[in-house]
């Protein structure tokens, strides 16, 4: 998965890179590995996640010099044009106003600098065996994210969002993941432990919000697990955008 998301992203030594919404540092670890010598600044609004990210990097990449900040991306303590590159992964999907976020972040980029934005899109899911119950379970997650102000279908919107926020030279790549039993590491690592686990984690919220019944939820989750068994297949597409701030 890291190769799929990070391929093509490497920043020159000495460049100053802001990772926005670093969470527990899953992407930070890859950024420091693929961009030795770049000066990575990682921010997140969640203090606990930031603490985990620090600990993770200290353990896995003790030589990496990452600067950590607990801050809201709408109120970052950095001057205008103080970064060469921005990296934002799986953050815009959670924001009620992702365009305003991109606009605010653009302020921090030096002219000629770039932004990389990576998002998923739950509308890209293909299941075999297909199941209306499984798709309904996925839709519960989509609806809950929407109720929380986010958009689980944001991948398809990256180009217009970046354009409306004033970026130039926008290119968006669709990066699909296809999984069947011949790729057991992806069956475990992506289909089961990432995608299905994420859907399963919203079960109680979906029931509390009246989006499903216990019986329908159980059936949906059981059908989702069938795609991770022998003979099942699963497809999901991530979207990776690169854009620039013109000099
Ligand atoms: C799904 S996680 C993604 C974490 C990381 N980028 C990754 O790909 O593993 C979304 C992260 O965005 C952070 N976040 C959400 N809204 C934010 C805001 N307004 N300012 C800063 N971080 C924010 C959350 O705290 C969370 O850690």
DSSP, residue by residue, 85-141: EEEEES-GGG-S-HHHHHHHHHTTEEEEEEEEEEEE-GGG-EEES--HHHHHHHHHH
Pairing of strands 109-120, 233-244: antiparallel
* Atom from ligand 1 closest to the CA of residue 23: 27
User: How far is ligand 1, taken at its centre, from the CA of residue 115, in Å?
Assistant: 16
Ligand 1 atom nearest 26 alpha carbon: 9
pLDDT in tens, 156-172: 999 999 999 999 999 99
pLDDT value, residue 28? 98
Give mean pLDDT, residues 84-111. 98
The predicted-structure confidence for 174-191, as pLDDT tens digits, reads as follows 999 999 999 999 999 999
Percent of the chain past pLDDT 90, that is, above it, reads 97
pLDDT of residue 1: 82
| CA 193 – ligand 1 centroid, Å | 20
Q: Are residues 69 and 77 in contact, defined by beta-carbon separation less than 8 angstroms? A: yes
Closest atom of ligand 1 to CA, residue 74: 19
Quickly state the pLDDT bin for 203 (edges 50, 70, 90): very high
Mean pLDDT confidence for 3-31: 97
Question: Mean per-residue pLDDT for 216-221?
Answer: 98
Mean predicted confidence (pLDDT) in 195-222: 98
Ligand 1 centroid distance, CA of 27 (Å) = 11
Question: Can you give the pLDDT at residue 134?
Answer: 98
Query: What pLDDT does residue 73 have?
Result: 98
Report pLDDT for 247: 85
Who contacts 76 (Cβ-Cβ below 8 Å, separation ≥6)?
43, 69, 104, 108
CA 73 to ligand 1: nearest atom: 20
Asked whether 26 lines ligand 1 (CB < 6 A), one says yes
CA distance linking residue 192 with residue 179, whole number of Å:
11
52 Cα to the center of ligand 1, angstroms: 13
Query: What pLDDT is stored for residue 129 in this prediction?
Result: 98
DSSP 3-state of 239: strand
pLDDT in tens, 18-35: 999 999 999 999 999 999
Task: State the average pLDDT for the chain.
Answer: 97
């Amino acid at each position: 998965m890291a190769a799929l998301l990070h391929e093509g992203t490497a920043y020159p030594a000495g460049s100053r890179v802001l990772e926005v919404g670093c969470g527990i540092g899953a992407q930070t670890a890859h950024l420091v590995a693929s961009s030795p010598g770049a000066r990575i600044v990682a921010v997140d609004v969640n203090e606990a996640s930031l603490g985990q990210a620090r600990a993770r990097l200290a353990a896995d990449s003790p030589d990496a010099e990452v600067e950590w900040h607990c801050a809201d991306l709408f109120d970052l303590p950095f001057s205008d044009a103080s970064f060469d590159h921005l990296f934002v992964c799986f953050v815009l999907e959670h924001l009620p106003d992702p365009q305003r976020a991109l606009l605010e972040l653009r302020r921090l980029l030096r002219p000629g600098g770039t932004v990389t934005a990576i998002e998923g899109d739950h509308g890209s899911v293909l299941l075999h065996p297909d199941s209306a119950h499984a798709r309904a379970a996925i839709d519960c997650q989509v609806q809950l994210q929407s109720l929380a102000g986010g958009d689980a279908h944001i991948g398809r919107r990256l180009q217009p969002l970046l354009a409306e926020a004033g970026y130039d030279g926008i290119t968006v790549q669709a990066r699909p993941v296809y999984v069947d039993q011949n790729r057991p590491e992806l069956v475990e690592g992506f289909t089961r432990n990432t995608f299905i686990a994420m859907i399963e984690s919203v079960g109680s919220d979906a029931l509390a919000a009246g989006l499903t019944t216990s019986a329908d939820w159980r059936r949906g989750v059981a059908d989702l697990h069938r795609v991770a068994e022998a003979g099942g297949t699963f497809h999901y597409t991530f979207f990776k955008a690169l854009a620039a701030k013109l000099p």
